[in-house]
Protein backbone atom coordinates (compact mmCIF):
# COMPACT_ATOMS: atom_id res chain seq x y z
CA UNK A 1 0.00 0.00 0.00
CA UNK A 2 1.47 3.34 -1.03
CA UNK A 3 2.15 5.93 1.68
CA UNK A 4 1.62 8.80 -0.77
CA UNK A 5 -1.88 10.13 -1.38
CA UNK A 6 -2.92 11.13 -4.90
CA UNK A 7 -4.00 14.76 -4.55
CA UNK A 8 -4.12 16.00 -8.15
CA UNK A 9 -6.84 15.44 -10.72
CA UNK A 10 -4.06 15.63 -13.32
CA UNK A 11 -2.33 12.57 -11.91
CA UNK A 12 -1.85 10.10 -14.81
CA UNK A 13 -3.70 7.34 -12.95
CA UNK A 14 -6.71 9.58 -12.34
CA UNK A 15 -6.75 10.76 -15.95
CA UNK A 16 -6.52 7.17 -17.16
CA UNK A 17 -9.40 5.99 -14.98
CA UNK A 18 -11.53 8.93 -16.06
CA UNK A 19 -10.92 7.90 -19.67
CA UNK A 20 -11.83 4.29 -18.91
CA UNK A 21 -15.07 5.39 -17.27
CA UNK A 22 -16.07 7.75 -20.06
CA UNK A 23 -14.82 6.14 -23.27
CA UNK A 24 -15.65 2.74 -24.72
CA UNK A 25 -12.65 3.03 -27.02
CA UNK A 26 -10.27 3.34 -24.06
CA UNK A 27 -11.77 0.26 -22.38
CA UNK A 28 -11.56 -1.76 -25.58
CA UNK A 29 -7.99 -0.73 -26.34
CA UNK A 30 -6.74 -1.56 -22.85
CA UNK A 31 -9.14 -4.49 -22.37
CA UNK A 32 -9.91 -3.42 -18.81
CA UNK A 33 -12.94 -2.06 -16.94
CA UNK A 34 -13.67 -0.17 -13.74
CA UNK A 35 -15.83 -1.27 -10.83
CA UNK A 36 -17.01 1.02 -8.06
CA UNK A 37 -18.35 0.46 -4.57
CA UNK A 38 -17.88 -2.00 -1.76
CA UNK A 39 -20.23 -4.71 -3.01
CA UNK A 40 -18.69 -4.98 -6.46
CA UNK A 41 -15.14 -4.96 -5.09
CA UNK A 42 -16.17 -7.73 -2.69
CA UNK A 43 -17.58 -9.69 -5.62
CA UNK A 44 -14.31 -9.20 -7.51
CA UNK A 45 -12.35 -10.48 -4.52
CA UNK A 46 -14.58 -13.57 -4.19
CA UNK A 47 -14.26 -14.32 -7.89
CA UNK A 48 -10.47 -14.50 -7.59
CA UNK A 49 -10.16 -12.45 -10.77
CA UNK A 50 -6.91 -10.51 -11.16
CA UNK A 51 -7.13 -6.91 -9.93
CA UNK A 52 -4.89 -4.37 -11.62
CA UNK A 53 -5.31 -1.52 -9.14
CA UNK A 54 -7.48 -0.33 -6.23
CA UNK A 55 -8.06 3.31 -5.32
CA UNK A 56 -9.74 4.40 -2.08
CA UNK A 57 -10.37 7.53 -0.04
CA UNK A 58 -10.68 8.38 3.64
CA UNK A 59 -14.49 8.32 3.24
CA UNK A 60 -14.33 4.53 3.11
CA UNK A 61 -16.33 2.62 5.74
CA UNK A 62 -14.72 0.05 8.11
CA UNK A 63 -16.05 -2.70 5.82
CA UNK A 64 -14.31 -1.00 2.92
CA UNK A 65 -11.04 -0.57 4.80
CA UNK A 66 -11.10 -4.31 5.55
CA UNK A 67 -11.30 -4.89 1.79
CA UNK A 68 -8.39 -2.54 1.14
CA UNK A 69 -6.32 -4.43 3.71
CA UNK A 70 -7.10 -7.74 1.98
CA UNK A 71 -6.17 -6.41 -1.44
CA UNK A 72 -2.92 -4.98 -0.09
CA UNK A 73 -2.04 -8.27 1.63
CA UNK A 74 -2.52 -10.03 -1.73
CA UNK A 75 0.04 -7.74 -3.33
CA UNK A 76 -2.50 -5.75 -5.34
CA UNK A 77 -1.46 -2.12 -5.97
CA UNK A 78 -3.55 0.00 -3.58
CA UNK A 79 -3.42 3.80 -3.41
CA UNK A 80 -5.23 6.43 -1.38
CA UNK A 81 -6.82 9.29 -3.31
CA UNK A 82 -8.07 12.64 -2.10
CA UNK A 83 -11.77 12.18 -1.28
CA UNK A 84 -12.90 15.01 -3.55
CA UNK A 85 -11.01 13.60 -6.52
CA UNK A 86 -12.43 10.12 -6.00
CA UNK A 87 -15.93 11.58 -5.71
CA UNK A 88 -15.38 13.36 -9.03
CA UNK A 89 -14.75 9.97 -10.66
CA UNK A 90 -17.82 8.38 -9.12
CA UNK A 91 -20.70 7.36 -11.38
CA UNK A 92 -23.09 7.32 -8.39
CA UNK A 93 -24.65 10.13 -6.37
CA UNK A 94 -22.87 9.00 -3.20
CA UNK A 95 -19.37 7.62 -3.61
CA UNK A 96 -18.48 4.70 -1.36
CA UNK A 97 -14.82 5.64 -1.49
CA UNK A 98 -13.42 2.71 -3.45
CA UNK A 99 -12.95 1.64 -7.06
CA UNK A 100 -10.85 -0.92 -8.88
CA UNK A 101 -9.51 -1.59 -12.37
CA UNK A 102 -9.72 -5.15 -13.69
CA UNK A 103 -8.81 -6.90 -16.95
CA UNK A 104 -11.82 -7.75 -19.08
CA UNK A 105 -12.19 -11.54 -19.06
CA UNK A 106 -11.58 -13.39 -22.31
CA UNK A 107 -14.85 -15.29 -22.61
CA UNK A 108 -15.79 -18.24 -24.78
CA UNK A 109 -18.93 -20.31 -25.06
CA UNK A 110 -18.87 -23.27 -22.68
CA UNK A 111 -18.15 -26.56 -24.41
CA UNK A 112 -21.45 -27.90 -23.10
CA UNK A 113 -24.44 -25.62 -22.58
CA UNK A 114 -28.21 -25.90 -22.60
CA UNK A 115 -29.29 -22.27 -22.13
CA UNK A 116 -27.87 -19.19 -23.82
CA UNK A 117 -29.27 -15.68 -23.72
CA UNK A 118 -28.68 -13.81 -26.99
CA UNK A 119 -29.13 -10.05 -26.72
CA UNK A 120 -29.57 -8.53 -30.14
CA UNK A 121 -28.47 -4.87 -30.37
CA UNK A 122 -29.50 -3.95 -26.83
CA UNK A 123 -28.49 -0.32 -26.50
CA UNK A 124 -29.73 0.77 -23.08
CA UNK A 125 -27.03 0.25 -20.39
CA UNK A 126 -29.52 -0.16 -17.55
CA UNK A 127 -31.48 -2.78 -19.48
CA UNK A 128 -28.36 -4.71 -20.41
CA UNK A 129 -27.06 -4.71 -16.85
CA UNK A 130 -30.42 -5.89 -15.53
CA UNK A 131 -30.57 -8.67 -18.13
CA UNK A 132 -27.08 -9.84 -17.17
CA UNK A 133 -28.13 -9.94 -13.52
CA UNK A 134 -31.30 -11.88 -14.37
CA UNK A 135 -29.33 -14.28 -16.57
CA UNK A 136 -26.89 -15.05 -13.77
CA UNK A 137 -29.79 -15.70 -11.41
CA UNK A 138 -31.61 -17.95 -13.87
CA UNK A 139 -28.60 -20.19 -14.52
CA UNK A 140 -27.83 -19.05 -18.06
CA UNK A 141 -24.47 -20.53 -19.10
CA UNK A 142 -23.41 -17.55 -21.25
CA UNK A 143 -24.74 -14.26 -22.58
CA UNK A 144 -24.06 -13.42 -26.22
CA UNK A 145 -24.26 -9.86 -27.52
CA UNK A 146 -24.54 -9.03 -31.20
CA UNK A 147 -22.56 -6.19 -32.83
CA UNK A 148 -24.27 -2.86 -32.26
CA UNK A 149 -25.01 -3.56 -28.60
CA UNK A 150 -23.99 -1.23 -25.80
CA UNK A 151 -20.61 -1.98 -24.21
CA UNK A 152 -21.10 -4.70 -21.59
CA UNK A 153 -18.25 -3.19 -19.55
CA UNK A 154 -19.52 0.39 -19.41
CA UNK A 155 -19.92 1.71 -15.84
CA UNK A 156 -23.74 1.82 -15.99
CA UNK A 157 -23.96 -1.76 -17.26
CA UNK A 158 -21.48 -3.03 -14.66
CA UNK A 159 -23.34 -1.26 -11.86
CA UNK A 160 -26.77 -2.55 -12.94
CA UNK A 161 -25.46 -6.11 -13.37
CA UNK A 162 -24.55 -6.29 -9.66
CA UNK A 163 -21.67 -8.73 -10.04
CA UNK A 164 -22.98 -10.78 -12.97
CA UNK A 165 -19.73 -10.04 -14.83
CA UNK A 166 -17.99 -12.31 -12.33
CA UNK A 167 -20.49 -15.15 -12.66
CA UNK A 168 -21.04 -15.84 -16.35
CA UNK A 169 -19.27 -15.52 -19.71
CA UNK A 170 -20.24 -12.44 -21.72
CA UNK A 171 -19.12 -12.35 -25.34
CA UNK A 172 -19.93 -10.76 -28.68
CA UNK A 173 -20.69 -12.93 -31.74
CA UNK A 174 -22.19 -12.15 -35.12
CA UNK A 175 -25.21 -14.04 -36.41
CA UNK A 176 -23.36 -16.67 -38.48
CA UNK A 177 -21.34 -17.56 -35.36
CA UNK A 178 -24.45 -17.74 -33.19
CA UNK A 179 -26.25 -19.94 -35.70
CA UNK A 180 -23.22 -22.23 -35.99
CA UNK A 181 -23.06 -22.59 -32.20
CA UNK A 182 -26.72 -23.59 -32.10
CA UNK A 183 -26.34 -26.11 -34.91
CA UNK A 184 -23.47 -27.96 -33.24
CA UNK A 185 -24.70 -31.32 -32.01
CA UNK A 186 -23.07 -31.39 -28.57
CA UNK A 187 -25.03 -33.08 -27.17
CA UNK A 188 -27.71 -32.07 -29.72
CA UNK A 189 -28.53 -29.01 -31.82
CA UNK A 190 -30.08 -26.15 -29.85
CA UNK A 191 -33.35 -24.48 -30.70
CA UNK A 192 -33.05 -20.79 -31.52
CA UNK A 193 -36.17 -19.16 -30.09
CA UNK A 194 -36.80 -15.49 -30.71
CA UNK A 195 -38.96 -13.33 -28.47
CA UNK A 196 -41.35 -11.42 -30.70
CA UNK A 197 -44.27 -9.43 -29.34
CA UNK A 198 -45.96 -9.68 -32.75
CA UNK A 199 -46.45 -13.43 -32.84
CA UNK A 200 -45.36 -16.96 -32.14
CA UNK A 201 -46.39 -19.26 -29.31
CA UNK A 202 -47.31 -18.03 -25.85
CA UNK A 203 -44.22 -18.60 -23.73
CA UNK A 204 -45.94 -21.14 -21.48
CA UNK A 205 -46.97 -23.23 -24.52
CA UNK A 206 -43.46 -23.27 -26.03
CA UNK A 207 -41.14 -26.13 -25.06
CA UNK A 208 -38.43 -24.34 -23.10
CA UNK A 209 -37.00 -27.53 -21.60
CA UNK A 210 -34.97 -28.29 -24.71
CA UNK A 211 -31.43 -27.07 -25.36
CA UNK A 212 -32.11 -23.45 -26.10
CA UNK A 213 -30.74 -20.10 -27.23
CA UNK A 214 -33.26 -17.40 -26.32
CA UNK A 215 -33.06 -14.19 -28.35
CA UNK A 216 -34.20 -10.81 -27.04
CA UNK A 217 -34.24 -8.03 -29.64
CA UNK A 218 -33.49 -4.35 -29.27
CA UNK A 219 -35.95 -2.09 -27.49
CA UNK A 220 -36.58 0.03 -30.57
CA UNK A 221 -36.31 -2.37 -33.50
CA UNK A 222 -36.88 -5.86 -32.16
CA UNK A 223 -34.88 -8.85 -33.45
CA UNK A 224 -32.82 -8.56 -36.62
CA UNK A 225 -33.96 -10.26 -39.81
CA UNK A 226 -31.05 -12.69 -39.51
CA UNK A 227 -32.44 -13.88 -36.18
CA UNK A 228 -35.95 -14.29 -37.55
CA UNK A 229 -34.72 -16.22 -40.58
CA UNK A 230 -32.65 -18.62 -38.46
CA UNK A 231 -35.24 -19.06 -35.71
CA UNK A 232 -36.74 -22.44 -34.94
CA UNK A 233 -39.69 -20.63 -33.45
CA UNK A 234 -41.06 -17.40 -32.03
CA UNK A 235 -42.38 -16.86 -28.52
CA UNK A 236 -44.31 -14.04 -26.95
CA UNK A 237 -45.52 -13.04 -23.51
CA UNK A 238 -49.32 -12.83 -23.47
CA UNK A 239 -50.49 -9.48 -22.14
CA UNK A 240 -54.18 -9.14 -21.28
CA UNK A 241 -53.75 -5.42 -20.66
CA UNK A 242 -53.52 -2.60 -23.17
CA UNK A 243 -49.73 -2.21 -23.28
CA UNK A 244 -48.29 -3.25 -26.64
CA UNK A 245 -44.90 -4.42 -25.38
CA UNK A 246 -42.73 -4.79 -22.32
CA UNK A 247 -39.37 -3.29 -21.47
CA UNK A 248 -36.67 -5.60 -22.88
CA UNK A 249 -35.23 -6.35 -19.44
CA UNK A 250 -38.67 -7.21 -18.04
CA UNK A 251 -39.41 -9.47 -21.01
CA UNK A 252 -36.08 -11.25 -20.62
CA UNK A 253 -36.72 -11.85 -16.92
CA UNK A 254 -40.19 -13.31 -17.54
CA UNK A 255 -38.97 -15.62 -20.30
CA UNK A 256 -35.88 -16.79 -18.43
CA UNK A 257 -37.88 -17.69 -15.36
CA UNK A 258 -40.47 -19.45 -17.52
CA UNK A 259 -37.52 -21.59 -18.67
CA UNK A 260 -36.62 -22.20 -15.02
CA UNK A 261 -40.23 -23.05 -14.17
CA UNK A 262 -40.65 -25.54 -17.01
CA UNK A 263 -37.34 -27.24 -16.26
CA UNK A 264 -38.30 -27.73 -12.63
CA UNK A 265 -41.76 -29.23 -13.16
Q: Express each pLDDT in 46-102 by its tens digit.
A: 999 999 999 999 999 999 999 999 999 999 999 999 999 999 998 887 889 999 999
Distances (CA, A) of 119 to 124, 177, 196, 228, 249: 11, 14, 13, 13, 10
Answer yes or no: do 248 and 125 share one domain: yes
Point out the domain boundary residue: 67, 82, 103.
103
Domain range for 121 = 115-263
Looking at the structure, do residues 95 and 142 belong to the same domain, yes or no? no
Helix axes 248-263, 125-138, angle to 10 degrees: 10
Are 139 and 90 within one domain?
no
Is 158 in the same domain as 56? Answer: no
Helix (H) or strand (E) holding 87, with range, is helix 83-89
User: Is residue 4 situated within a structural domain?
Assistant: no
pTM of the model: 0.94
Amino acid 82: pLDDT: 97
Say whether both 161 and 255 belong to one domain: yes
Q: Label residue 3 by pLDDT band (50, 70, 90).
A: low
> Residue 102: helix, strand or coil by DSSP?
strand
Domain count, the chain: 2
Q: Are residues 98 and 179 in the same domain?
A: no
**Across 243-265, average pLDDT:** 93
- Residue 256 sits in a domain whose CATH number is 3.40.1280.10
156 lies in the same domain as 213: yes
CATH code (residue 38): 3.30.1330.30
Residue 108 lies in a domain: no
245 and 132 within one domain: yes
Amino acid sequence: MSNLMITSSQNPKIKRIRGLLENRKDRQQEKVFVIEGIRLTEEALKSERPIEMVLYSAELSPRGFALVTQFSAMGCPVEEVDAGILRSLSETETSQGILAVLPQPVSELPKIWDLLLVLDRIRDPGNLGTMLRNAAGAGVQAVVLTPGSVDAFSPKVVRAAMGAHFRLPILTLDWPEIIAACRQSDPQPAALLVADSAGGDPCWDADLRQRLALVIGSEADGPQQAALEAANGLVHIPMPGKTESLNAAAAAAILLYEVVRQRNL
